[in-house]
Structure 1
Amino acid sequence: MATNESFFNGFQLNRPLLAGGAVLTGIGAVLSVAGTVMVCAALATAGRNWMRSMDTPPSALAQKAIHDAKVASAAGWEAWRSEHAASPN
């Protein structure tokens, strides 16, 4: 009973097989994490290079979009006010 142990009415556990499976699972997990890190590094590098190659930086694009939204909001508000100010209600 050195390699196999009996539990619960004949359920036998092969310890060397279980240990080998655990080792392979651990190795697979480590390789999986290493692959994920490599993919993330490649994507981050590509993204950084793409941002550097842009004519207009993303911060300037965001500021322009915010400005445009404020102008549109003010125009809508002014149109709503002028419509309601002219109504007899």
Structure 2
Amino acid sequence: MATNESEFSGFRVNRSLLAGGAVLTGIGSLLGAAGATMVCVALAMAGRDWMRGLENRPTAVAQRALHEARVASTAGWEAWRAEHGSPN
């Protein structure tokens, strides 16, 4: 039996090949994490630039839409009350 192999119940493992595979897997994981980080940063920067280019902020648009919905709801409620003669 070679010194870089071990035997476990008839199952032979080449330790140097296993260690090399583990090292390459670790390096690949680090490269993958670095690539994912770069993608996230690029998307965040593009989103931030897109938000800066908008004429109206999304919160202002949402507030205006909410106000319009409340006005429409109140108008509908008033029309229903007028039609049905409800005292409330």
Q: Same fold (TM over 0.5)?
A: yes
**3-state DSSP class of the match of 1:69?**
helix
1:81, distance to aligned residue in structure 2 (A): 4.2
Following TM superposition, the consecutive aligned residue runs of length 4 or more in structure 1 with deviations greater than 4 angstroms are 79-86
Cα deviation code 1:58-89 (max 9, x no counterpart): 11111112112222333344445455546xxx
CA distance in 1, matches of 2:15, 2:81: 80
CA distance in 2, matches of 1:34, 1:46: 18
Shift in CA distance, 13/55, structure 1 to aligned 2, threshold 3 Å:
same
- TM-score normalised by L of structure 1: 0.80
For the aligned residues, what is the CA RMSD? 1.8
Cα deviation code 1:20-49 (max 9, x no counterpart): 111011001101110011001111111111
- Identical positions, percent: 61
Equivalent residue number for residue 48 of structure 1: 48
| Structure 2 unaligned spans of 5+ | none
Equivalent residue number for residue 7 of structure 1: 8
- TM-score normalised by L of structure 2: 0.81
